[in-house]
Amino acid sequence: MSDIMHHTLYDGRRVAFRYTHGRGPCLVFLPGYMSDMSGSKATALFAEAQAQGRACLLLDYSGCGASDGDFADGMLSRWRDEVLALVASYVSGPVLLVGSSMGGWLMLLVAEHLKHRLAGMIGIAPAPDFTRWGYTEAQRTQLLAGETIYEPNPYGPEPTPIHASFFADAECHVRLEGGIDITCPVRLLHGKADEVVPWDVSLRLKSALRSDDVQVTLIEDGDHRLSRDSDIAALKAIVAEFYG
């Protein structure tokens, strides 16, 4: 990870990223909530891009990983704008968006601004609208009241915080309740043993998208992370479809 670079935004925020030149489309990987570009799927796709001579961009949202900022200030709008700033500054030509979990929601928001440049989208256990279906009414009431809630973290000892500012912003970006005006090819990969994001969310996303080329691949014993060697091999195979 020694090749990490930083991009400075208009307000002085420095966003960490990795970029490798190559033939397009440029794969842009969007991590999940409280995740970063050091994750197994991101690093595997970056290494594969380098080996195959493909362009690839990884990034850490502000408040995450090697980027500046406080995670408590993070929200979909803010992170969407960071992704768009990096794409505008470093990527030429078509873009292949790959979003994991929350990154699959953010992927939709980024795609709405890059329609003319989209080669396709790949969602890995995508979680659009998780503030609607992922919390109880009691939790939503707390968040609406400006409170921070904490959820059990299956991947570490510290609970996962959900801040009221993130929730309020996310409520402005609900997408599954109407048609999503994105028409590029879309591939969705989801584990049927996912205990974090129900696999039917991918089916709902397929129905909401206006694209006539959406394929859902369900992995019978796959969990939410989809980070086993076999899962990553399946992901690489899907990515390869976009390079012919």
| Active site members | 101, 194, 224
Q: How far apart are CA 131 and CA 162, in angstroms?
A: 10
Residues 222/157, Cβ–Cβ less than 8 Å: no
Look at the block and give the residue holding tokens 């928001």: 109
Cβ-count burial of 137 within 10 angstroms (0-12 exposed, 13-18 middle, 19+ buried)? exposed
Q: How many Cβ atoms from other residues are within 10 Å of residue 138's Cβ?
A: 9
For 13-49, b where at least 16 C-beta lie within 10 A, e where not — what string?
Answer: bebbbbbbeeebbbbbbbbbbbbbbebebbbbbbebb
What is the phi/psi pair of residue 90, to 5°?
Answer: -125, -15
**Dist CA 143 CA 11 (whole Å):** 27
Dihedral over Cα of 17, 25, 123, 184: its sign: positive
Q: In 3-state terms, what secondary structure has residue 128?
A: coil
User: Which is it for strands 54-59 and 95-100: parallel, antiparallel or unpaired?
Assistant: unpaired
